[in-house]
Amino acid sequence: MNRYVFGPVSSRRLGKSLGIDLLPYKTCSYNCVYCECGATTDLTITRQDFFPLKDILAELDRVLVKKPNLDYITFAGSGEPTLSRLLGPVIRHLKEHYPWYHVAVLTNGTLCMLPEVRSDLLPADLIIPTIPASDQAMQDRIFRPYHNISVSSIKSGLVALRKEFSGQLWAEVFLVPGINTGKDELIHSRETIISIRPDLIQLNSLDRPGTEPWVCPVQRLELIQIRDFFAETGIPTDIAGFGQRGGFFSHTHEHLVIS
């Protein structure tokens, strides 16, 4: 039984995807109301190794030596992948020994203000960060972050990442009906996205029970209207799992979803 590697799973966004989980459950800099993995038990911004690098690489090698047919190897799982200091070493190992695989990182973006985190991410092929809320009050309401993470620092980190990262950057907007689907909030999100200049905007919404029972999915018609509003930026805009049963997933849930 594997401890760090899961799947491959069939992911609508990433095709056939092998997951890597570098974190103990549930370690995150956010405690999102919509998190489908449950409440964050270790709310932190402290980067750690968490597990021995040699154990992770040995397990990865055992799986990859069989040369599985994959579209992506994806860092996701039990929390925020950039909290692991081993993210960079594991990505570099993959790129050195298995350069034919594409590497994706699903992140909440909160630590991208740190140069060392951006440096860890640079060898990846695809980064999917979650866009922060329009202001601190909304941020605290939806994402319930570690106490000293500011919206402005997250935005600056993502803008800096875009400048340094030449791979694919897809901006995820997680929509919670009645909370961040109003006109003002959408305008702010769109402005944030324009400043980051992603290659793709991905709208996401609840697909299975979140941490808070009052969170519900956005209705199809409203999703289409919101998609059209974001598409006015000229940036391709997609709805995650659109038209499919069980197709949504946010950056931690790839291992739980067969889309």
Asked if 40 is part of the footprint of ligand SF4 (rule: CB under 6 A), the reply reads yes
Which CB atom, from 108 or from 205, has the smaller least distance to ligand SF4? 108
Asked if 204 is part of the footprint of ligand SF4 (rule: CB under 6 A), the reply reads no
Asked if 74 is part of the footprint of ligand SF4 (rule: CB under 6 A), the reply reads no
- Least Å distance, CB 84 to ligand SF4, is 13
Asked if 251 is part of the footprint of ligand SF4 (rule: CB under 6 A), the reply reads yes
The residue range among 11-19, 162-170, 192-200, 244-252 that interacts with ligand SF4, by the rule CB under 6 A, is 244-252
9 φ, ψ to 5°? -110, 160
Binding letters toward ligand SF4, positions 116-135, x by CB under 6 A: --------------------
**Residue whose C-alpha is closest to residue 17's, from 27, 7, 28, 25:** 7
- What's the rounded Cα separation, in Å, for the pair 241 and 208? 12
Residue 8, both tokens: 């491959």
Q: Which of 9, 14, 22, 28 binds ligand SF4 (CB under 6 A)?
A: 28
Asked if 8 is part of the footprint of ligand SF4 (rule: CB under 6 A), the reply reads no
The residue range among 7-15, 86-94, 175-183, 246-254 that interacts with ligand SF4, by the rule CB under 6 A, is 246-254
Q: How far is CA 250 from the centre of its chain?
A: 6
The residue range among 35-43, 50-58, 156-164, 220-228 that interacts with ligand SF4, by the rule CB under 6 A, is 35-43
Q: How far is CA 207 from CA 7, 77, 245, in A?
A: 20, 17, 9
Name residue 103's beta-bridge partners. 73
Asked if 257 is part of the footprint of ligand SF4 (rule: CB under 6 A), the reply reads no
- What's the rounded Cα separation, in Å, for the pair 252 and 163? 25
Which CB atom, from 91 or from 111, has the smaller least distance to ligand SF4? 111
- What's the rounded Cα separation, in Å, for the pair 40 and 178? 23
Cβ(186)–Cβ(227) below 8 Å: no
- What's the rounded Cα separation, in Å, for the pair 115 and 121? 10
Q: Which of 30, 101, 165, 249 binds ligand SF4 (CB under 6 A)?
A: 30
The residue range among 27-35, 63-71, 165-173, 234-242 that interacts with ligand SF4, by the rule CB under 6 A, is 27-35
Q: Which of 11, 73, 80, 158 binds ligand SF4 (CB under 6 A)?
A: 80
Residue 212, both tokens: 């808070």
The one-letter code for the residue type at 58 is: A
Give the DSSP letter of residue 111: T
Query: Which residues here bind ligand SF4, judged by CB under 6 A?
Result: 28, 30-32, 35, 37, 40, 79-80, 108, 250-252
